[in-house]
Structure formats: structure tokens, C-alpha cells
Chains A and B, each alone.
Chain A
Amino acid sequence: MQQPIFSDELTWRDRLRYALLRLPLFALLWWILIEGKLAGWWYGIPVILLAVLVSLLLLPAPRQPRPLMGTVRFVGFFLWESLRGGIDVALRAINPRLPLNPDLIDYSLRLPEGNARIVLMNTISLLPGTLSANLRDDCLQVHTLDDNPQTMQSLEQVETVVAQLFGIDI
């Protein structure tokens, strides 16, 4: 909380540029929220401006442009794997023998600190049989439903896909 409200790393011109880039995004979001009606703009314009301001306060760092292919691949991968995760856990829950063999495993991250790690941790939580439980330095503790050697491989795969989403080489 000791930091100044606006960090001084960015020039005002940069900030203006990001604001202009984010403006259409928030306008689109508002348009979806009011279900495409035209009547809401009297409230909408101040709200959108406020949202842009708040986003500049909370996320001032410029984002690198995301590689398009990486994004497409990530969305596809994510939807498919989360469906698999749901089916996997549902089958375990309805199975009378309750096939669980949970364990806590350590996974050393290759991704650098920042948003990429947050995305990775949230993704892991929705994939089959894994739940990110704790992050300490570069080591992520992952809770697994079924402790088998494949888990490590799939974690590495997830990390690769997330790295591609952010355009990072690992």
C-alpha cells in the first residue's frame, strides 16, 4: 500500500495507449451485460470509463501481444481437458468402490513469475485429477486424486501450452 497510486514506470503516453486499447474491450463487455439494448448507455459510458481507470490501476503492466495460435490452442486444450476432468471425477464419485489414491506431489515450475503462473495454477485446478494447492518459490505443490507417473507428464504438457499462450520459451 506504500506504492504511489500510479507506478512511475510508464509514461503517460503509454498509459493513454493502453486505455485506448482497453476501451473497446470494456465497451463490448458492457454491451453484452445489458444484452444488446441501447437504453443503458447513460450509465454505461461512466461505468466503462471507470472500469478502464480501475484496470489501469490494477494491471498497469503492458501485456505482450498474445500469439494467436497459442491462444486458440489453449482454449481448445482447456475445454477438452476440463471436460475430461469433470468426467473423471464424476466417475470416481459414483463408483461404489471409490477409486481414490490421493497424494501431494511437488512440481518445479519452469514458467517465470507473473500472470503466466496464475493462469497455469488455475488451469491445473480444472484439469483431470489435479489441484494446485501451494506455491513456494519455484515449487508448486499439486494435490492429485490418483497418484500415477502420468500426472507429471500431463503437468508438463499443461505448462507447455500455457507458455505458448503467453509466447514464452521454456
Chain B
Amino acid sequence: MNISAGGFDILLAAVLPLLAWYVLSTRDLFKAVALFIAYGLLFSLIWVRLAAPDVALAEAAIGAGLTGALLLDTLGRIGSRDTSGAASAMEPEGGPPDARES
């Protein structure tokens, strides 16, 4: 039991700073938002391990969910096409796809 629990904690503690670094350093805004949502949910797991389920609830709902949705909305308004990665990914690489314009 101790090994698994210890491994769980160490893994969380090791990955979270790395993820935080990625969120801050990435140039692609959309990628940053997606990583931020993942970061919030992992953070909520940390609160769970610290025996604070109420804080975990708040972190998941406000930190990841609500803030994530607001950030996505903001991104839509400022136009995510300006950022590097999102723009290039939107262009179909070869010929028109099966998508029909709706």
C-alpha cells in the first residue's frame, strides 16, 4: 500500500512543476490552455492526496473547469488563428477533406 501511495505522490509532485513550466513557456496559446486544464485537474488530485477533498472540488470546478472555459472563450474572441500552432493545424494539408460546408 505504501509503495503505491508513495509512487502516486512522487509522480504527481514530479510532473506538476514540469506541466506548469510547459503552460508558461509554450508559444501556442491553445496548447497552453489545454495544458492549463490538465494542470488544474492534476492539481485537484494533489489536494485529494493532501486529504482536502473540499479544496479539490473547488480546484476542479473553478480552477480547471470554469477558468478553462473562460480561457477558451477568450481565445475564441481574440482569434486563436494568430497563434502559430493552431493556425497551421487548421489548414488541411492536401486536397479538400470529406467535410462539407454546413
Contact = CB atoms under 8 A, between A and B. Distances in A.
Contacts of A136: 100, 102
Interface in A124-165: 134, 136
A104 interface: yes
A134 B99 CA distance: 9
Contacts, number: 4
Contacts of B98: 104
Q: Contact residue range for chain B?
A: under 10
Interface residues of A, number: 3
A104 B98 CA distance: 8
Interface in B7-45: none
A136 B101 CA distance: 10
Contacts of A134: 102
Contacts of A104: 98
B97 to A, nearest CB: 9
Interface in B37-68: none
Interface in A102-134: 104, 134
Nearest to A134: B102
Contacts of B100: 136
B102 to A, nearest CB: 6
Nearest to A136: B102
Nearest to B102: A136
A104 to B, nearest CB: 5
A134 B100 CA distance: 10
A59 B100 CA distance: 31
Nearest to B99: A134
B95 to A, nearest CB: 15
A136 B98 CA distance: 14
A60 B100 CA distance: 34
A147 to B, nearest CB: 13
B85 to A, nearest CB: 24
Q: Which 4 A-B pairs have the closest CB atoms?
A: A104-B98, A136-B102, A134-B102, A136-B100
4 contacts: A104-B98, A134-B102, A136-B100, A136-B102
